[in-house]
Structure 1
Amino acid sequence: MVAVGELLREDPGSATMPAVAERAGLSLATAYRYFPTLDELHRKFMLSVIDELYESTKGLKSNGMALFNDTMAQWLKVVAEYGPAMVLVRSREGFLTRLQAGEPHARALERVWAPPVRQLLDEAGVDPDQLPYALSLFNALFNSREIMDFRAVASMPDEQLVQRCSRLYWSALQGLRSTED
């Protein structure tokens, strides 16, 4: 995974199976034994990145919007480091379908984002049953491709980007309120 990460950070387009095998000091046959396709290798790498994010956020002591902001700050760091590699992993299914099916990447993102999002739903008076939709909304707004785009176009410091994303997400969550509210 280290070899994959290095290649994907340096030049995602050059991260072929032969290049990964060479960087890892493996024969090409051995590399293919572990990862039959380059897509599978990318997916395994992406899962390791999300796991790294989880490890950096699981001990956060803040609550509510502060927890969301702290988690978002960590997300921005991860995207800054791995973003070009992260955008290589795509799926034909939407986030909700993947989450419901138990797809590993969607579940890993749920593990990271459910605690702060659940707290925001509570603060906003939104039914906790809306969590899957709130997570899907988060994914649509702030996946790695969108964060990279924000950075490229807005060119604002991370602290300001965290605040902008948090306000935007808070506003979007209001749309998940029951129509009876």
Structure 2
Amino acid sequence: MRSDTERNRARIIKAASRLAAKHGNAIRMQDVAEKAEVSTATAYRHFGSVDDALAEFRFGVGETLREFSIARDEHGLDLLEVVSARWIELVMKHGRAMVHTRSDEGYLKRLRSGATYLTVQADALERPIREAVAEAGIDDPGDLGLFFWNALFDPREIFDLHQTVGLTADEMAPRLVRTLLGALRGWAPAT
């Protein structure tokens, strides 16, 4: 990709994320183009909709999490806690824009159909979840572990726990990880 094309694409993603963080879903591609200082036609050449630009933004955040996860030396529960804490940090920094990426389809359906902004996040979490449940003596839940993690670590819920309950980012990760393990124990078939 040419450097001016890459630059325009990055500016559009950044503009969409900033506008979504400030104005929610009430933004149009024309607003994004204006903020990015490109023509509306250029914005549409890169993305079919504001949602597409926001999905690319969320993919970038997921890539950051994946790179962090891969580089970690921890294992089991320690790994899941440190990766989950990093996610909370990313949400606190970038999450206002991610709050507005919504779909009519459920998480598992989007994940299994290959939604890239979810698959990159799943790549970051697969090993931490698998190792943590093994350490806790819970059968491998497969992608249902990701499903429960996503429900607990949704950016809306992170902000809610921070703003409404008053939890700090450092307090959230271990509590949510323990809750995740409890949910996975409860989900396992009765023996």
Tell me the TM-score normalised to structure 1 length.
0.88
Q: 1:77 to 1:11 in 2, by over 3 A?
A: farther
Q: Which runs of 5+ in 1 are unaligned?
A: none
Q: CA deviation at 1:136?
A: 0.6
Q: CA deviation at 1:23?
A: 3.0
SS of aligned partner of 2:121: helix
Q: 1:167 aligns with which of 167, 170, 178?
A: 178
Q: In the comparison of the two structures, how many residue pairs are matched?
A: 179
SS of aligned partner of 2:104: coil
Q: Aligned residue for 2:37?
A: 25
Q: Which runs of 5+ in 2 are unaligned?
A: 1-12
Q: CA deviation at 1:45?
A: 1.5
CA distance in 2 between counterparts of 1:178 and 1:12 reads: 40
Q: CA deviation at 1:12?
A: 4.2
Q: Aligned residue for 1:138?
A: 149
Q: Are 2:110 and 1:98 aligned?
A: yes
RMSD between aligned alpha carbons? 1.9
CA distance in 1 between counterparts of 2:184 and 2:119 reads: 20
CA distance in 1 between counterparts of 2:64 and 2:120 reads: 10
Q: Aligned residue for 1:4?
A: 16
* Aligned 8 A contact 2:21 2:96 in 1: yes
CA distance in 2 between counterparts of 1:156 and 1:100 reads: 33
Q: Aligned residue for 1:64?
A: 76
Q: Aligned residue for 2:188?
A: 177
Tell me the TM-score normalised to structure 2 length.
0.84
SS of aligned partner of 2:72: coil
Q: Which portions of structure 1, spanning 4 or more consecutive aligned residues, are displaced by more than 4 angstroms?
A: 9-15
Q: CA deviation at 1:22?
A: 2.6
Q: State, as a whole percentage, how many aligned pairs show the same letter.
A: 31
Q: Are 2:109 and 1:73 aligned?
A: no
The letter for the 2-side match of 1:147 is I
